[in-house]
Structure formats: structure tokens, C-alpha cells
């Protein structure tokens, strides 16, 4: 059992969630309300990481963030962080490939809130922050929760992008999914079995828990 | 945190640049107040996240800086045995990563943070040296051999001359044959040359299952889904594999030699050179030999500066 890979996957998933949750709340809420030409195109762009083969995404990220690219060189010079074959780079990649998993459920949740509710709250003298915190967020909560769970579990399981971007370095970029692949190649089928089992159980429990929680939240309302 | 920032940071929020920035955005954010909250959230997050690499670096320092070795996957079992010996002898920590030499070559060109590169084909080392990424032009550590690995219960005979393979192609006993990808894996290139040498390449090509590297090819060969595979001797003789099937060497004259060269990258710590010396020791060479590597003639084993 490669506990180092397990922890690395947890670290990556937690960090991804921390970066993406505020972004997803803002983008999802905005997309749910905004009406403008080209919205369909923007929504398509948000969903793109979901339908693109992970190797395509990984390849573009490798090219875009590598040492020879403008972004990669700038980050390396200014922040002193290398974005390929490092945890930082993996985090950037992970944020990108999780955008649809975070934004979509949140957008749907905010869309299902009647617009006159916010207007009524505004007339009652609530500030925009109070409306968001006290009216909209509690109503959108099941969507936000499932977005978080999906993002977390998807990060634990993502393989293609991590393989392209990460380079399989223990303790730095060897996540659980990569470690399983490595174990199978190295004829350690027992090790692969254990880790695959852990991932299976974790994913099932997390998704089931989110369904359970959402169902309860909906009933309570 | 938000309140603290808000109280102390009013000057920032009232700064003309910030006001301009936020006014242009306030339509999307919904309101002034919300915009401030978002900015504070991101500020906290950036502060928090900037700590992550620091903490990671410190935890890495606590365990001693590890030496990262990118090794051709034919070394998997031999280095898994030698690695702990090196760690005990020197107190340095090793991170061994196995893969296709061709992939490591591209990754190293992209700036992958490996300290030592052990290639199954010396051409990759020479190209890295020409690109100015290595400390020197490296050292030959072994010669690899390929052979036919036939899993237990396969209708194929372990025949190194590949005569039974030709017969099996004729009578339809051969459905799938595993080997490493000849596009970037040295063992795949040599397997292709050997098959071309006996004129079987065109007939075998549609039946090939290509592994990303020779270790994956060996895994495919013994999985039971193929009738066999052309793989490295160093994997076939390892205890984890040898029980799964039988192996026969293919004559070395049928293909270009698998000259395996290791090199220390420019940014590597001194421990990398220690590791290079360790692998040249008699004890290490004996282990490599036991795993089916042929040892280079002495002059080639000397470091080339």
C-alpha cells in the first residue's frame, strides 16, 4: 500500500477544492443569472474539459506550462516554481480539468432558485452579501455539496492529465491512480489490488454520502 | 480574517485603481460588498496556498533530500534490489522512477527534475548531452538482451531463433504478441530489428500489442491475453516474472546492441555521482549480471569526461 501516493492524492484534492470552490460559486452564480450573446459558447468552454480526452488536455497544459512556454518561464522566474513535473503544476492542471465538475452543479443549483426570491429579499432590506449568504446559498447547498464531492473524487481518480503533466515522481506527482498503473507494470498485482479497492470504496462512499445529504436537505425544505 | 483585512485595508479598497477595477467588475459580482468579499477570499487563499510548497519543502528536508533517478523499466527488479543497499551504505534517500527511456528523454528536455538518467539506449543520453543538460557524456553500465517470453499454457514454444513464432504465424496459433513501443522504447526498437532480421516484421505487425515500456510489455506477455512477448532478459529472469512462463534469448547479432548508458544531470547534487560510482562497484555489477544484463568491457565502464 503506497500511503505516500494516497496522501498526495488527498493533498491535491483538498488544494483543488480550496482554489476551485470560490471560483465555482462565483462563476456558477454568474452563469445562472447572466443573459448575453455568446453565453452558449462560454458554457461550452466550461464543459470542454469534461469531453476532451485527458491526453489532449494534458498535452496542451504541458505545452502551455512547460519551461519553454511564456507562462511557464514567467512563473519559474517570478515565483520560482516549476509548473511541469511538480505538485504546483499538478494543482494548476487539476483546477482546469475540474472546472466543469465544480461549475455545472453550482450553476444548475442557482438556476433553480426563483429570481423573485432575491428581489423580495432586496426589497426587505437585505444587502447583496446577506442575500447570497442567507437566502441563495442555503437553497443552492445540495448543488454546492455535490460539486465539491464530484471535484474531490474526480481529482483522486484523474489519470491521463496527471500522467502527461506529472512524470510519476514519488511524493511529488505520483498520485493514487498513477501508483496503481505503476504497480501493475511492476508485476505487483496485490499492491494494485489494494489501492484500487481503496479508491473504489472512497469514491462510492463519498458519492453516496453526498446523495444522502442532498436528499435530506431537500426533504427538510 | 475578512474583518481584519476590511478594517485595516480600507485604504486599499478606496484606492482609485481598486475602485476602477471593481466598478468595471461590479456588474458580474452583483454588488460592491460582494466584490470585496471575493477579493478577501482570494487573498486569504493565495496566502494559504503559498504556504503549501513551503511546508512540502520542509517535510522533504526533514527526511533528507532524495536523489531522483529516472530509470529504464528493464532495471525495475535489479534497481529495486540495489536501491536499498545504496541507501544503507550512504544514508542518501533514493526515489526510483521507472519508464520508457524515450519518454524520460522528452520529459528531461521539458525540465523534469530528475538527477540521474539511466537510459536503455545511449543515443538518448548523447542527445541530452548535446542539448547541454548533463554533467558529462555518461557511462555505459550494462548491455541489455532481448528474448521471447512465453507464458505458461501458451501454444507458443520458447524458441529464441523465432522458428516456432514463424510457424505459429502460419498455422494461426499466434493471436497476439507483446513488445515495447518501437517509437520511443529502446527494447521495442530492438525487438522490431530482430523481427525484421528474420523477415517476420510485416506478418507480426498486425498482431502486436505495444507496451508503453518494456515492463508493461512483459506484463502484457504474461497476462494470459497474449501468446507471448519480446521483452528484456532482466525482467524475465526476475523472481516475480520467471515463474509465470519460460524465456529464450534472441541472438544478440540480430539487432543493434542495447548499450545502456547512465548520466548525471547538471543540476544534480553530489550524491548523484556517488550513486554512479556505487553502480560501478563489483557488488552492484554482480547483481546486474544476475538479472541478465551483460557487463560492458572495462574501458567503456570508465567514466568519460
Domains and CATH numbers, chain B: 2-61 (no CATH), 65-143+257-301 (3.40.190.10), 145-254 (3.40.190.10)
Residues of B in contact with A87 (CB under 8 A): 52-53, 56
- pLDDT, tens digit, 9 for 90 and up, residues A162-190: 988 887 888 888 999 999 998 988 888 89
CB atoms within 10 A of CB B280: 15
CB distance from A129 to chain B under 8 Å? yes
Cβ of B111 and A66 within 8 Å?
Answer: yes
Query: Structural domain of residue A65, as residue ranges?
Result: 3-220
Q: State the pLDDT confidence band at B5, using cuts at 50, 70 and 90.
A: very low
Q: What is the pLDDT of residue B109?
A: 87
Chain B residues in contact with A81 (beta carbon < 8 A): 53
pLDDT bracket for residue B34 (50, 70, 90): low
Provide the mean pLDDT of chain B.
84
Nearest to B195 by CA among B229, B144, B235: B229
Decide if B304 touches A, using CB distance below 8 A: no
Examine the pLDDT at B84 and tell me if it is beyond 90: yes
Q: What is the pLDDT of residue B197?
A: 96
Give the mean model confidence (pLDDT) for residues B72-101: 94
pLDDT of residue B7: 40
What ipTM was predicted for this assembly?
A: 0.74
In the predicted structure, residue B13 carries a pLDDT above the cut 90: no
Kindly report the number of other CB atoms within 10 A of residue B278's CB atom: 17
Cβ distance of B215 and A185 shorter than 8 Å: yes
Distances (CA, A) of A161 to A63, A167, A173, B22, B107: 12, 10, 11, 35, 14
Given this model, what pLDDT does residue B101 score? 92
Residue A187 DSSP one-character state:
T
Find out whether B14 and B4 touch, Cβ atoms under 8 Å: no
**pLDDT category, A68, cuts 50, 70, 90?**
confident
**Predicted pLDDT at B17:** 46
Q: Say yes or no to pLDDT of A62 above 60.
A: yes
Nearest C-alpha of chain B: how many angstroms from A47?
20
Does position B73 have pLDDT exceeding 90, yes or no?
yes
Query: Is the per-residue pLDDT at B301 higher than 90?
Result: no
More confident residue, B38 or B207: B207
pLDDT band, residue A220 (cuts 50/70/90): low
Tell if the CB–CB gap between A185 and B98 is shorter than 8 Å.
yes
Chain A, window 74-103: residues with a beta carbon less than 8 angstroms from a chain B beta carbon: 81-82, 84-88
Give how far Cα B109 sits from Cα of B103, B117, B131, B220, Å: 10, 12, 8, 29
pLDDT band at B59 (very low <50, low <70, confident <90, very high): low
- Confidence (pLDDT) at B6: 40
Dihedral Cα B158, B164, B169, B170, nearest 10 deg: -160
Q: What is the pLDDT of residue B10?
A: 45
How distant is the Cα of B98 from the closest Cα of chain A, in angstroms?
A: 8
Centre a 10 Å sphere on the Cβ of residue B91 and count the other Cβ atoms it contains: 9
A16-26 in b/e form (b: 16+ CB < 10 A) is: bbbbbbebbbb
Contacts of B204 by beta carbon, 8 Å cutoff, 6+ apart: B165, B169, B174, B177, B195
CB contact under 8 A, B49 and A15: yes
pLDDT of residue B4: 38
Provide mean pLDDT across the span B131-152. 94
Q: Please give the residue that has the higher pLDDT: either B194 or B59.
A: B194
User: Is the Cα torsion angle B243, B245, B251, B254 positive or negative in sign?
Assistant: negative
Q: What is the pLDDT of residue B131?
A: 94
Residue B95 and residue A19: Cβ atoms within 8 Å? no
Looking at the complex, does the CB of residue A62 fall below 8 Å from at least one CB of chain B?
yes
Higher pLDDT, B21 or B118: B118
CB-based contact, B22 to chain A, within 8 Å: no
Alpha carbons A2 and A192: distance in angstroms, whole number:
9
Query: In 3D, which of B73, B77, B71 has the Cα closest to residue B239?
Result: B77
Banded pLDDT at B233 (limits 50, 70, 90): very high
Q: How many domains does chain A have?
A: 1
Tell me the sheet residues that pair with B245.
B151
- Strand pairing of B177-180 and B208-211? parallel
Is residue B15 less than 8 Å (CB to CB) from chain A?
no
pLDDT > 70 fraction of chain A, expressed in percent and rounded: 98
pLDDT, mean of residues A203-209: 91
Domain of residue A124, CATH code: 1.10.3720.10
Q: State yes or no: pLDDT of B188 exceeds 90.
A: yes
* Residues whose CB falls within 8 Å of the CB of residue B135, separated by 6 or more in sequence, listed in order: B263, B264, B265, B266, B268, B272, B273
Q: Is the pLDDT of residue B27 over 50?
A: no
Average confidence (pLDDT) over B14-31: 47
Query: In whole angstroms, what is the distance from residue B94 CA to residue A54 CA?
Result: 30
CA distance B72 to B103: 10
Q: What is the mean pLDDT of chain A?
A: 90
Q: Is B305 exposed, middle or buried (0-12, 13-18, 19+ CB in 10 A)?
A: exposed
The tens digit of pLDDT for each residue in B89-120 reads 999 999 999 988 988 998 898 888 899 999 99
Interface with A, mutate which of B38, B94, B113, B178 (most A CBs under 10 A): B113
B42 interfacial to chain A (CB closer than 8 Å): yes
Q: How much is the pLDDT for A81? A: 82
Residue with cell 519480446: B230
Chain A residues with CB-CB distance to B112 below 8 A = 84-85, 167, 169
Give the mean model confidence (pLDDT) for residues A189-200: 93
Checking if the pLDDT of B216 tops 90, the result is: yes
DSSP state of B239: H
Binning pLDDT at 50, 70 and 90, where does residue B56 land?
low
Query: What pLDDT, on the 0 to 100 scale, is given for residue A66?
Result: 80
Q: Mean pLDDT throughout B172-196? A: 95
Contact (Cβ atoms closer than 8 angstroms) between residue B141 and residue B261: yes
Residue B229 CA to residue B247 CA, distance in Å, equals 10
Question: What is the average pLDDT across A106-121?
Answer: 92
Give residue A194's pLDDT.
93
Amino acid at each position: 500500500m503506497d500511503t505516500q501516493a494516497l496522501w498526495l492524492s488527498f493533498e491535491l484534492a483538498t488544494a483543488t477544492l480550496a482554489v476551485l470552490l470560490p471560483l465555482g460559486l462565483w462563476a456558477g452564480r454568474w452563469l445562472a443569472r447572466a443573459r448575453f450573446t455568446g453565453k452558449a459558447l462560454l458554457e461550452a468552454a466550461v464543459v470542454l474539459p469534461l469531453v476532451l480526452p485527458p491526453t489532449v488536455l494534458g498535452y496542451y497544459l504541458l505545452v502551455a506550462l512547460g519551461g519553454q512556454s511564456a507562462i511557464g518561464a514567467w512563473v519559474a522566474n517570478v515565483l520560482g516554481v516549476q509548473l511541469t513535473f511538480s505538485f504546483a503544476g499538478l494543482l494548476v492542471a487539476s483546477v482546469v480539468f475540474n472546472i466543469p465538475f465544480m461549475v455545472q452543479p453550482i450553476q444548475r443549483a442557482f438556476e433553480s432558485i426563483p429570481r423573485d426570491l432575491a428581489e423580495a429579499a432586496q426589497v426587505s432590506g437585505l444587502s447583496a452579501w446577506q442575500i447570497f449568504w442567507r437566502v441563495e446559498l442555503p437553497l443552492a447547498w445540495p448543488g454546492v455539496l455535490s460539486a465539491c464531492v464530484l471535484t474531490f473524487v474526480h481529482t483522486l481518480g484523474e489519470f491521463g492529465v496527471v500522467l502527461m503533466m506529472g512524470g510519476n515522481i514519488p511524493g511529488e506527482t505520483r498520485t493514487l491512480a498513477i501508483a496503481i498503473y505503476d504497480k501493475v507494470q511492476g508485476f505487483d498485482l496485490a499492491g494494485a489490488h489494494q489501492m484500487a479497492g481503496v479508491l473504489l470504496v472512497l469514491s462510492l462512499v463519498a458519492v453516496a454520502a453526498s446523495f444522502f445529504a442532498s436528499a435530506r436537505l431537500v426533504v427538510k425544505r | 480574517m475578512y474583518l481584519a483585512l476590511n478594517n485595516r485595508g480600507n485604504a486599499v479598497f478606496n484606492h482609485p485603481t481598486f475602485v476602477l477595477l471593481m466598478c468595471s467588475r461590479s456588474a458580474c459580482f452583483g454588488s460592491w460588498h460582494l466584490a470585496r468579499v471575493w477579493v478577501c477570499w482570494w487573498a486569504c487563499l493565495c496566502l494559504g496556498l503559498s504556504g503549501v510548497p513551503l511546508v512540502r519543502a520542509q517535510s522533504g528536508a526533514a527526511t533528507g533530500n532524495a536523489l531522483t533517478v529516472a530509470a529504464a523499466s528493464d532495471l525495475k527488479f535489479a534497481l529495486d534490489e540495489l536501491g536499498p543497499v545504496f541507501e544503507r551504505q550512504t544514508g542518501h534517500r533514493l526515489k526510483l522512477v521507472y519508464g520508457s527511456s524515450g519518454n524520460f528523454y522528452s520529459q528531461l528536455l521539458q525540465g523534469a527534475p530528475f538527477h540521474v538518467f539511466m537510459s536503455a539506449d545511449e543515443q538518448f543520453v548523447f542527445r541530452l548531452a548535446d542539448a547541454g543538460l548533463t554533467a558529462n557524456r555518461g557511462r555505459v553500465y550494462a548491455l541489455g538482451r532481448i528474448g521471447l517470453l512465453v507464458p505458461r499454457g501458451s501454444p507458443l514454444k520458447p524458441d529464441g531463433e523465432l522458428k516456432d513464432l514463424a510457424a505459429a504465424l502460419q498455422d494461426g496459433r499466434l493471436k497476439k504478441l507483446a513488445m515495447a513501443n518501437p517509437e520511443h522504447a529502446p527494447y521495442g526498437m530492438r525487438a522490431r530489428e530482430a523481427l525484421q532480421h528474420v523477415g517476420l516484421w510485416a506478418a507480426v505487425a498486425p498482431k502486436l500489442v505495444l507496451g508503453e515500456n518494456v515492463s508493461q510489455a512483459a506484463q502484457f506477455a504474461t497476462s494470459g491475453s497474449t501468446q507471448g512477448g519480446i521483452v528484456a532478459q532482466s525482467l524475465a529472469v526476475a523472481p516475480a516474472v520467471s515463474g509465470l512462463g519460460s524465456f529464450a534469448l534472441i541472438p544478440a547479432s540480430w539487432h543493434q546492441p542495447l548499450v545502456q548508458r547512465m548520466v548525471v544531470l547538471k543540476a544534480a547534487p553530489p550524491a548523484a555521482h556517488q550513486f554512479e560510482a556505487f553502480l560501478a562497484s563489483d557488488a552492484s555489477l554482480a547483481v546486474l549480471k544476475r538479472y541478465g544484463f551483460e557487463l560492458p568491457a572495462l574501458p567503456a565502464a570508465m567514466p568519460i569526461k
